[in-house]
Amino acid sequence: MSKLEDIVSLCKRRGFIFPGSAVYDGMAGTWDFGPLGVALKRNIMNAWWGYWVDQRDDMYGVDAAIIMNPRTWEASGHVATFADPLVECKECHGRFRADKLVEGATESITTDEFLQADVKCPTCGKQDWSEIRKFNMMFQTHVGPIEDDEHVAYLRPETAQGIFTNFRNVVDTIYPDLPFGLAQQGKAFRNEISPRDFILRDRECSQMEIEYFVRPEDWEKQFEQLRAGQHDFLENVIGLPAEMIHELEVPEEDRAHYSKRTIDFMFDYPNGEEELMGLAYRTDFDLSNIQRESGKSMEYRDKMTGESFVPHVIEPSIGVERLFLAVLSSAYCEEESRVVLRLPENLAPYRYCVSPLLKNKPELVEKAREVYELLKSKYTFVTWDDSGNIGKRYKKQDEIGTPKCVVVDFEGLENGTVTVRDRDTTEQVRVKIEEL
């Protein structure tokens, strides 16, 4: 099992992820994606969109605004209930999530339960705690030039509500058959009390969510189909090992206020088992609340029967950063003489690296450039590397997960071939250029 600190080091060393605002000593809970991180992240998001939207006839995309009418968050229950249990050390005034300081605790932990656990402050070691209070995690801002209560707005804590508020727009414009889903990828913001564990729990993240609208009587069948689809996507498209994925049936007292059933898909991260994604049956909670608060109908009229009803909803939701870290964790491997990222070819930032055997031989460089342009036009995700000796180039490409290294040598100048080295086996084969 890889160590989290090794993955963090690799990410910074090779340009996957940097601490946010590092030049100004950073900002807790924020991270910047570098050139390779952006490429891997984009490939992950494209793979998700391709699987769930592009390849299906019952899925459609939306892209809603980040700042929405604040009534959105009142109707959804976020203003009243989107909160974590906050506890403060009276000695050093450090603030923490109470449920994360007690092993096996949930977000519903009480002050008595917390105190009975005899928790020591992680900062100063004292045991002098305040009572637990609820801390709303939405970032608050103001819209317009006047900062008063009438102009309060929030950065969205989830992308889901932008889907629900567009339900009527989609039905009125393209009138899809039930069941159908609306998918969205985008930023979400949560004012975490104590962000930690690298990109697992941060204050700004990207989400990929689907709201799948179904007939109320069909929700169990559709839930199981989406459940199976999650495993297929995670294991066969993203390449996560099945043995590292576990399902957790969330008990009623720990489910979100809108959920009648939730399964959390857990993953064996380097720091332990953590939530990777969730699958929730939200009933008609959201659409009915919008209908009540807005006064606008959220009913769907069946094309065949003419029956009108408010659809129920099943929500698969996954954080991009959590999936990103799961991909890195399962791909990271330390061998005797190298570190290698065994990324699936469809996710790797580069599919090929092209090099001349020697960079000071113009004839090798010229032919290597021809090969590079050929592969670049065909596969797009191709990089050039002529720094250092060939061994150092291989080591670098292994670390960033490039599946194949293509090298032009003197023999290739004579017979029109190149050597192709495989990342995982390190075996090399000679291939004609036109067969690449």
Domains and CATH numbers, the chain: 4-73+160-330 (3.30.930.10), 352-435 (3.40.50.800)
Mean pLDDT for all residues in the chain: 91
Q: pLDDT confidence of 97, banded at 50, 70, 90?
A: confident
Could you read off the pLDDT of 359-385 as tens digits, one per residue? 889 999 999 999 999 999 999 999 999
- For the chain, what percent of residues have pLDDT higher than 70? 100
More confident site: 225 or 412 = 225
Q: pLDDT confidence of 1, banded at 50, 70, 90?
A: low
pLDDT at 315: 96
Mean pLDDT of 162-191: 95
pLDDT at 107: 78
pLDDT at 91: 86
pLDDT at 420: 95
Could you read off the pLDDT of 385-397 as tens digits, one per residue? 999 899 999 999 9
For the ranges 69-78, 201-210, 231-240, 301-310, the lowest mean pLDDT is seen at 69-78
Range of 39-48, 184-193, 255-264 with top mean pLDDT: 39-48
Mean pLDDT of 176-180: 94
For the ranges 126-140, 161-175, 200-214, 310-324, the lowest mean pLDDT is seen at 126-140
Q: pLDDT confidence of 58, banded at 50, 70, 90?
A: very high
Mean pLDDT of 101-107: 83
Written in H, E and C, the secondary structure of the chain is CCCHHHHHHHHHHHCCEEECCHHHCCCCCCEEECHHHHHHHHHHHHHHHHHHHHCCCCEEECCCCCECCCHHHHHCCHHHHCEEEEEEECCCCCEEEHHHHCCCCCCCCCHHHHHHCCCCCCCCCCCCECCCEEEECCCEEECCCCCCHHHEEEECCCCHHHHHCCHHHHHHHHCCCCCEEEEEEEEEECCCCCCECCCCECCEEEEEEEEEEECHHHHHHHHHHHHHHHHHHHHHHCCCCHHHEEEEECCHHHCCCCCCEEEEEEEEECCEEEEEEEEEEEECHHHHHHHHHHCCCCCEECCCCCCEECCEEEEEEEEHHHHHHHHHHHHEEECCCCEEECCCCCCCCCCEEEEECCCCCHHHHHHHHHHHHHHHHHHCCEEECCCCCHHHHHHHHHHHCCCEEEEECHHHHHHCEEEEEECCCCCEEEEEHHHC
Q: Is the pLDDT of residue 156 over 80?
A: yes
Q: Is the pLDDT of residue 256 over 80?
A: no
pLDDT at 148: 75
Mean pLDDT of 258-284: 93
